[in-house]
């Protein structure tokens, strides 16, 4: 997968978002290919977008075990132009959660949530933006 650990990411917490202090490049190797993500200084994300009501079961959105997976997923989905590209982001998310050692029930629950978001909201929002 990637040899980067969440502790290696040059980020700081600003409000409820993690923000990159400098540009950073991630290389993700999977059975399906190699993905390179170049993150600019100032890029921010909100972690794993877990609804507050679910934190006691699914964990905090910024906890270290989901930080890298949520970063890769958010970046890939924000830059996806097609449903297929979005699905790659979702698949990488699931693979990163597994690499982070999350229990199967939690990985599948989080993956199902991002797929539902994709089906009901992401495609509709992309359609309105002309993509």
Residue 65 belongs to a domain: yes
- Tens of pLDDT, residue by residue over 43-75, are 999 888 887 888 888 888 888 889 999 999 989
Residue 1 belongs to a domain: no
Residue 72 belongs to a domain: yes
- Tens of pLDDT, residue by residue over 85-118, are 888 888 899 999 998 999 999 999 999 888 887 7
Tokens of residue 124, six digits = 């509709």
Give the domain range for residue 63: 6-128
d(CA 130, CA 42) in angstroms, rounded, equals: 26
Residue 117 belongs to a domain: yes
Residue 99 belongs to a domain: yes
CA torsion angle for 90, 93, 98, 99 (degrees, to 10)? 140
Backbone φ and ψ of 11, nearest 5°: -125, 160
d(CA 129, CA 70) in angstroms, rounded, equals: 23
pLDDT at 131: 44
- Tens of pLDDT, residue by residue over 15-50, are 889 999 999 998 888 877 888 999 999 999 988 888
Backbone φ and ψ of 17, nearest 5°: -130, 150
Residue 37 belongs to a domain: yes
Domain count, the chain: 1
d(CA 65, CA 93) in angstroms, rounded, equals: 12
Tokens of residue 31, six digits = 């059975």
**Side-chain-facing half-sphere of 79: CA atoms under 13 Å:** 13
**Side-chain-facing half-sphere of 6: CA atoms under 13 Å:** 19
pLDDT at 63: 87
Q: Give the global pTM.
A: 0.81
Residue 91 belongs to a domain: yes
As a three-state string, the secondary structure of 12-24 is EEECCEEEECCCE
């Amino acid at each position: 997968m990637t040899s980067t650990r969440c502790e290696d990411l040059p980020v700081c917490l600003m409000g409820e978002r993690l923000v990159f202090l400098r540009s950073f490049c991630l290389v993700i190797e999977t059975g399906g290919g190699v993905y390179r993500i170049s993150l600019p200084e100032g890029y921010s994300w909100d972690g794993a977008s877990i609804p507050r009501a679910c934190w006691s079961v699914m964990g905090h959105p910024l906890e270290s075990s989901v930080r890298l997976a949520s970063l890769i997923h958010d970046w890939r989905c924000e830059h996806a132009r097609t449903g297929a590209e979005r699905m790659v982001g979702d698949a990488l998310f699931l693979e990163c959660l597994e690499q982070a050692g999350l229990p199967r029930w939690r990985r599948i629950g989080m993956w199902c949530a991002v797929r539902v978001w994709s089906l009901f909201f992401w495609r509709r929002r992309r359609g309105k933006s002309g993509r």
